[in-house]
Amino acid sequence: LQLVQILASQAASALANAGLYRTLERQAITDGLTGLYNHRYFQENLALEIFRSKRYAKTFSLVFLDVDFFKQYNDTHGHLHGDAVLVALSKLLIAGLRKSDVAVRYGGEEFVLLLPETPKENAFAVAGTIREKIAAHPFPGRETQPQGKVTVSMGIAAFPEDGSDGPTLLHHADDALYQAKHRGRNRVC
C-alpha cells in the first residue's frame, strides 16, 4: 500500500509538471493580451512555410494589418479600452481564418496573417471579408473614430511572386499596408 501511494504521488507530480510544461510552452509562443501567436512563433512558421512552399511548388500569402487611428482611440478612451479593442479584433481575425492559417500579433496594433496555400487573389478576398467585419463590429467608442467606426488597413504579399524569403515578403506586405494608409485607410492593397 505504501509503495502504491509513493508511485501515485510520483505520477501526480509528473502529470502536474507535464501540465506546467505545456502551459509554459504555450505562453512562450503567444501574446499575453490577445492570445494570438507572437512574433517569434511567426518567424519560425514563416521560415517553415517558405521551405514547404519551395519544396512542393506551392504559394502562400502574408497579410499585414494595422488598426487605423489607434493612437487617437487610445488617447480618447484610454489604454484599457484600446486593449479591449485589440482582444475583440483578435477574435474577429480568428473567426475569419481557417485552422491552417496563422494569426499573429506582430507588435502594438499590428497583426500578420500567414495564409498557407493561398494565392494573392484569394488572400484579397479573405482580407476584404475580415476588413468589412471589423468595420461593422460594434466596438465601444467607435463613434469617436473617423468614419464612426474602428477600421484596419491591410497589405498583402505572396510567395514567390513578391519574394522568396521572409524579409522580402514582409517588406512587400508592409509597403502594401502603407499604400492602403496613403489611399485613405480602411482598405486592402
The total of other beta-carbon atoms located within 10 Å of residue 70's CB is 19
- Which residues pair with residue 155 across a beta bridge? 64
Cβ contact 61:120 at 8 Å: yes
- Contact present, 166 and 50 (Cβ < 8 Å): yes
Write down the catalytic residue from 49, 109, 132, 143: 109
Give long-range contacts, CB 8 A cutoff, 24+ apart: 91-95: 92/130, 92/133, 92/134, 92/137, 93/36, 93/130, 94/36, 95/133
- Active-site residue, 117 included: no
The number of angstroms, rounded, from the C-alpha of 189 to the middle of its chain's C-alpha atoms is 18
Cell numbers 467608442 correspond to: 141
Annotated active-site positions, please?
109
